[in-house]
């Protein structure tokens, strides 16, 4: 098997696993269903992934890394801190809704424990993005002086709560505009001050 063929097979397995996890949930999905969906033997599947958890963690890592990479790319050319915060929050909320199935939180018990270290790293990176936006806004005198770490934690926890609500309590979901309105009224410096 050459490298290109191996990479194509790996991608086919990952696509199949996404479908199987989405359809059956993490607990009911198994390597046999994934192999069948990918069009390979179960033995062939084990050449790429040692077990279902390894496969699930690979999918989760790729989804989280992709989300952060795309967020950084989305923000890279935005110089106005208000627009950067608006973009970050809007992008986070709309992308989280669109990617819900890719985070593999089908079983409530696993929503917290599956890939915990990856999730911690993911959220640390997101907090850093928020912190950078807040610091930039203060430096540019667009945001009033504030405790950056504390404001970052507040915004981060609002958005983390949104993530959790996607899987646990969809009635608690809020709109990006409502979140922004609330935050910017407290962060945006009043004209003339």
Residues 116 and 132 in one domain: yes
**Which DSSP string corresponds to 103-127?**
GT--STTHHHHTTHHHHHHHHHHHH
CATH of the domain at 39: 1.10.10.60
The answer to whether the predicted template modeling score (pTM) of the entire model surpasses 0.85 is no
Number of structural domains, the chain? 2
Residue 160 sits in a domain whose CATH number is: 1.10.357.10
Same domain, 109 and 151: yes
- Tell me, yes or no, whether 25 and 109 share the same domain: no
Q: Could you please report the per-residue DSSP string of 122-169?
A: HHHHHHHHHHHHHHHHHHTTSBPP--HHHHHHHHHHHHHHHHHHHHH-
Interhelix angle 52-75/3-28, rounded to 10 degrees, is 100
Q: What is the pLDDT of residues 56-114, one digit of tens each?
A: 889 889 988 999 999 999 999 999 999 999 999 989 888 887 776 665 544 555 555 67
Kindly state the helix (H) or strand (E) to which residue 171 belongs, with its residue range.
none
**188, β-bridge pairs:** 143
Q: How far apart are CA 46 and CA 40, in angstroms?
A: 10
The per-residue pLDDT for range 156-188, each reduced to its tens digit, is: 988 887 777 776 777 777 777 887 877 777 666
User: Could you tell me if residue 192 is inside a domain?
Assistant: no
């Amino acid at each position: 098997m050459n490298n290109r063929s191996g990479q194509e097979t790996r991608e086919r397995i990952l696509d199949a696993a996404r479908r199987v996890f989405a359809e059956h949930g993490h607990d009911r999905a198994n390597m046999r269903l994934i192999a069948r969906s990918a069009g390979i033997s179960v033995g062939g599947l084990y050449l790429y992934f040692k077990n279902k958890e390894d496969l699930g963690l690979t999918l989760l890592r790729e989804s989280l890394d992709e989300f952060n990479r795309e967020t950084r790319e989305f923000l890279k050319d935005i110089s106005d801190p208000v627009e950067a915060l608006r973009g970050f929050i809007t992008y986070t909320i709309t992308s989280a809704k669109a990617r819900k199935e890719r985070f593999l939180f089908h079983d409530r018990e696993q929503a917290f424990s599956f890939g915990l270290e990856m999730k911690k790293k993911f959220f640390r990176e997101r907090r850093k993005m928020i912190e950078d936006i807040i610091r930039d806004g203060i430096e540019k005198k667009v945001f009033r002086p504030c405790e950056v770490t504390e404001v970052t934690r507040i915004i981060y926890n609002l958005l983390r709560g949104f993530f959790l609500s996607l899987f646990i309590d969809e009635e608690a979901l809020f709109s990006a505009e409502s979140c922004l309105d609330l935050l910017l009224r407290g962060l945006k410096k009043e004209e003339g001050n």
